[in-house]
């Protein structure tokens, strides 16, 4: 009977350790998600309005790194009105946090989306395949 009691104690201790590990993981996930919200607001502010004169002003960068090398989403911004140095630092932190969240998650993530093209369309950096407010795609003459 003594061996059975030792096995029970070991199993109970392991279950307690597992609960503590899950609670720590949940706490870390919640903390990272809160930081992601703050970083998303900072990134939006640092990116400016995306105003451009030509496509040379425009940039597109991936947000939310996925394990396959793609991204959750993309941000279009203009070098003319973005705080590029601060923006790049914030995006780097955002993507690092996202990678941690993927590692901590029990779900299998999708592979993300392909990087879109970027062009200056009607004075705004945008994806020419999705944005054509004046009926043109912004790629004529390029």
| pLDDT in 10s for each residue of the chain, 142 residues | 555 555 555 555 566 677 888 899 999 999 999 999 999 999 999 999 999 999 999 999 999 888 788 898 999 999 999 999 999 999 999 999 998 998 888 777 788 888 999 999 999 999 999 865 554 444 333 3
User: Are 74 and 113 in contact, with CB atoms under 8 Å apart?
Assistant: yes
pLDDT of residue 6: 55
Closest to 73 in 3D by CA, of 51, 32, 44, 45? 44
* Extended beta strands in the chain, E state: 58-65, 71-78, 119-121, 124-126
3-state secondary structure of 73: strand
List beta partners, residue 77: 59
**Predicted model pTM:** 0.75
pLDDT of residue 14: 62
Own/partner long-range contacts of 28-32 (Cβ < 8 Å, ≥24 apart): 28/100, 28/104, 29/101, 29/104, 29/105, 32/97, 32/100, 32/101, 32/104
pLDDT of residue 108: 74
């Amino acid at each position: 009977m003594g061996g059975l009691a030792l096995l029970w104690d070991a199993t109970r201790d392991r279950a307690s350790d597992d609960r503590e590990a899950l609670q720590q993981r949940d706490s870390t996930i919640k903390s990272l998600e809160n930081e992601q919200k703050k970083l998303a607001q900072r990134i939006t502010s640092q990116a400016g309005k995306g105003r451009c004169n030509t496509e040379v002003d425009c940039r597109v960068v991936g947000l939310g790194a996925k394990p396959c090398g793609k991204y959750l989403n993309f941000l279009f911004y203009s070098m003319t009105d973005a705080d590029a140095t601060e923006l790049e630092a914030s995006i780097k932190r955002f993507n690092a946090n996202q990678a941690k969240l993927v590692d901590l998650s029990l779900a299998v993530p999708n592979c993300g989306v392909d990087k879109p093209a970027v062009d200056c369309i009607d004075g705004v950096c945008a994806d020419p395949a999705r944005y054509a407010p004046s009926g043109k795609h912004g790629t004529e003459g390029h």
